[in-house]
Chain A
Amino acid sequence: MTQYILRRLLQVIPVFLGTTLLVYFMVFALPGDPIRALFGDRPPSEAVIAALRQQYNLDQPFWVQYGLFLKNLFTFNLGVDFTGQPIAATLGRVFPVTAMLAVEALAIQAVFGVAFGLIAGLRKGKIFDSTVLVASLVVIAVPTFVLGFVLQLVVGVQLGWAKPTVGSNADWGTLILPAAVLGLVSFAYVLRLTRASVIENMNADYVRTATAKGLSRPRVVLAHILRNSMIPVVTYLGANLGGLMGGAIVTEGIFNVPGVGQKLYQAVIRSEGPTVVAIVSVLVLVFVAANLLVDLLYAWLDPRIRYEK
């Protein structure tokens, strides 16, 4: 088991190098001069531009720039962005906000998705089941930005139940509305996955045997139907965590959340290579960690799966 985890961690190295190289190259290949773009309509003197270029190593060829980036990375020196702020400080500011948002969204979709899916599955074909199925289809069909604006307007502005925008002081309470929007789409998938899995498992022979042993209905449902149905659901949720961390650009934009999505968007617009690559690098690590976590969870949930040493 330990060997398996170690091997998986070693695999991170090529994945990390490959993705950063690719992202670095794409930012490098963006048209336009980032230094000139910073100054807009009033270009500074050539000497200033040359100095800035040298400061950010933009006068070096691509391989040297990438090599310097890697060297700085391994000495934990991420450098400064074009506004002079240390990139490390920026990351330290935006990642906790997005992590909070992602965890909250994940919790919302997990709790409600599994609960609704379980009830719908157990009452297959009844009114609750049909209603939930249609509702989840609507949620899947409506794009996130529509859902976001509608909830912002209705819940945030008209009803005043939650803050319509987040702003600079993000905490669990203020993030509830964007988290709900972010979680809602995957909530529908979690619900449907749970429902299908429950329906499949509740007719399994071992469920009948569990009932024949004299177990109470709640025990049969929780220990035998739900427990076995969680295997595909947990896999999906884990894979989704990575997506939630990086894919919140639209939602963060709508609710003005000072998180990773917003920062990444700004950095791309400004062709700020080091910032973009730094954010993406962390996201790659998050993805890899989430995947490893899913695989380990999967083995824990389903004892038939054992990873080779």
Chain B
Amino acid sequence: MSTSNITIDEAGTEERPLLEIRDLAISFQTASGEFQAVKNAHLTIMPGETVAIVGESGSGKSTTALAAIGLLPENGRVSSGQILLDGEDISHAPERRMIELRGNTIGMVPQDPMSNLNPVWKIGYQVRETLRANGKPSGPADVARVLGEAGLPDSARRAKQYPHEFSGGMRQRALIAIGLSCQPRLLIADEPTSALDVTVQRQILDHLETMTAELGTAVLLITHDLGLAAERADKVVVMYRGNVVEAGPSLELLRNAQHPYTQRLVASAPSLASRRIQAAKAEGIQTEELLAPTETVVEKALSEDVLKVESLSKVFKLRSGVGKATDFKAVDNVSFNVKRGTTTAIVGESGSGKSTVAQMVLNLLAPTSGRIVFDGVDTSTLNSREIFKFRRRVQPIFQDPYGSLDPMYNIFRTIEEPLRTHKIGDKVSREKKVRELLDQVALPQSTMQRYPNELSGGQRQRVAIARALALDPEVIICDEAVSALDVLVQAQVLNLLAELQSNLGLTYLFITHDLAVVRQIADHVCVMQKGKLVETGSTDEVFDSPQQDYTRALLHAIPGASLMLPPVVA
């Protein structure tokens, strides 16, 4: 046993780390041979401390955490290194020992609340079996208490309900209750809120923080958001391609990142960038992080409205029982204008109606009432030939770069298709155009012969952008176009969109749930809640002096409010 990590605290007593991971390597047996998911991971968690592992998808952060609770997938194994829990190496501990440890020594809060509760058992049952398996009192009162402590109101009654009767936030509270029910000394929280709406995210994280502080539980927090990690954790460990590249106290790491990857992360995390932009504005400094160029604001203000949305409503009929239908107002009397050459963001949580607005603007869905005026013409009056022409001028980019590209089409055919559909040019000129487009989105021309499944998420989204640009549109509707991408890739795509806008004079309607991204890219913001437009204004106005509580809650939900970040000076 090593003594290197034993520290002497102020009282002079020796304190041993609760969890120490040393030179950990994890490999997976796959059809194409051995794959090293984690090459060199090391971290130390003292009792009661919160440590965050930050990294992009595939960095090995979740795999490292799963190894600590002995839940690696069947084809994965610890190939070298040690996982010391209170001095005991559990990296190859027998299953029986792990079952003893799980629940009452190491708890877990998983990522996706929708799939992590068994749909066929009542919530109370799923709490009770946890208590019972770990030898804790498991009567109905105990179950209600555990759920109540996790912030579930009316917990005795709610314990008798099934998971599908709970909202996402409620389910995550139930999972937190399960994870902490046996007062573990270490809690592994794997992206505990990334599947939830932003305002709910903040509530859940606040509650988790309070609970673990009260119980003295150490937390291993896994996240892709550096801003969130820095705000919530005492120490941050940055992982990149299976290696820990940097570790240290959160603020120190943020202010003085050493490794180039960490530096790039600090520069790109939208939550941090949006905070820095606000900080710069407060000090009256011009910052180059604003992707929507500020110097053209005056010029933009003079330009005409390319898109006018007037009292737009959409009512869906919901079936309830036989023959009856209730009306559901997805979009309720929404009006806004979009000026040529600007970016307007529609922000809201799931169910706010923002995507329904996008579909109506794209003329894919007919409004129940209200008008959409594009370039002076009401789009509902267009005949089929005019709609065809309209589609050429208004193009979409969707959220999921995996689902929105046809896997059977190679990239050339994918980008060329709109040109062929609209009978533009001959074979030679179309190929030339595709090459140009690939240049514009910074993809090598050799990409033409490849298929979507050979490309990364960021590359695919570039292909989707190239396809949208093929017809030289005037307006591009981006429906959560960067939400599925990793932070660094997200930053690259946002930069690309901004660059294309200033070169081509494009107009963007940007649908997103992420206000941090909005701060970077948008000129105007429309905030939607439950189908209604609750606030609209320039990005500066909305961020500096939000008028509505809901907007304030959304802004407050951007991680990193407590971090004092120096602005990046242009």
Name A's B-contacting residues (CB within 8 A). Answer: 204-206, 208-217, 219, 223-224, 227-228, 231, 301-304, 308-309
Contact = CB atoms under 8 A, between A and B. Distances in A.
A206 B120 CA distance: 11
Given A303-B164, A308-B321, A216 B118 contact: no
A212 B95 contact: no
Given A206-B117, A214-B102, 14 more contacts: A205-B115, A205-B116, A206-B118, A209-B178, A210-B129, A212-B71, A213-B129, A214-B99, A214-B104, A215-B99, A224-B118, A227-B120, A227-B121, A231-B120
Nearest to A124: B74
A209 B95 contact: no
Given A304-B162, A308-B322, A212 B133 contact: no
Contacts of B103: 212-215
Given A214-B130, A223-B129, A209 B110 contact: yes
Contacts of A223: 121, 129
Given A214-B104, A216-B133, A219-B133, A204 B115 contact: yes
Interface of B: 69, 71, 95, 99-104, 107-108, 110, 112, 115-122, 129-130, 133-134, 162, 164, 175, 178-179, 182, 321-322
Nearest to A231: B120
B523 to A, nearest CB: 41
Given A224-B118, A303-B120, A217 B71 contact: no
A102 B381 CA distance: 66
Contact of B116 (A209, A302, A308, A309): A209
A302 B120 contact: yes
Nearest to A230: B120
Contacts of A209: 108, 110, 116-117, 175, 178
B178 A213 contact: yes
Contacts of B117: 206, 209
B118 to A, nearest CB: 4
A303 to B, nearest CB: 5
Contact of B71 (A206, A211, A224): A211
A214 B182 contact: yes
B522 to A, nearest CB: 35
Nearest to A213: B130
B99 A216 contact: yes
Contacts of A205: 110, 112, 115-116
9 tightest A-B contacts by CB? Answer: A214-B103, A214-B102, A212-B108, A205-B115, A213-B130, A206-B118, A303-B162, A209-B116, A205-B116
B120 A210 contact: no
Contacts of B101: 214
A208 B71 contact: yes
Contacts of A211: 71, 102
Contacts of B102: 211-214
Contact of A206 (B116, B129, B130, B182): B116
Contacts of B104: 214
| From A219, A223, A303, residue with most partner B Cβ within 10 Å | A303
A212 B120 contact: no
A301 B120 contact: yes
Contacts of A206: 115-119
A214 B134 contact: yes
Contacts of B130: 213-215
A210 B118 contact: yes
A208 B322 CA distance: 39
Contacts of B164: 303-304
A216 B97 CA distance: 11
Given A205-B110, A206-B115, A219-B129, A228 B120 contact: yes
Nearest to A205: B115
Contacts of B178: 209, 213
Contact of B119 (A215, A217, A304): A304
25 contacts: A205-B116, A206-B115, A206-B116, A206-B119, A208-B110, A208-B116, A209-B108, A209-B178, A210-B129, A212-B69, A212-B110, A213-B102, A213-B134, A213-B178, A214-B104, A214-B130, A214-B134, A214-B182, A215-B133, A217-B95, A217-B99, A219-B133, A228-B119, A228-B120, A308-B321
Contacts of A231: 120
Given A212-B102, A215-B133, A216-B133, A303 B115 contact: no
A208 B104 CA distance: 16
A215 B122 CA distance: 17
A228 B119 CA distance: 9
Nearest to A308: B321
A260 to B, nearest CB: 36
Nearest to A223: B129
A214 B106 CA distance: 9
A203 to B, nearest CB: 8
A206 B162 CA distance: 14
A63 to B, nearest CB: 35
Contacts of B115: 204-206
Contacts of B99: 214-217
Contacts of B321: 308-309
Contacts of A216: 99, 133
B118 A228 contact: yes
A300 B393 CA distance: 53
A292 to B, nearest CB: 19
| From A212, A214, A231, residue with most partner B Cβ within 10 Å | A214
B561 to A, nearest CB: 31
A135 B115 CA distance: 35
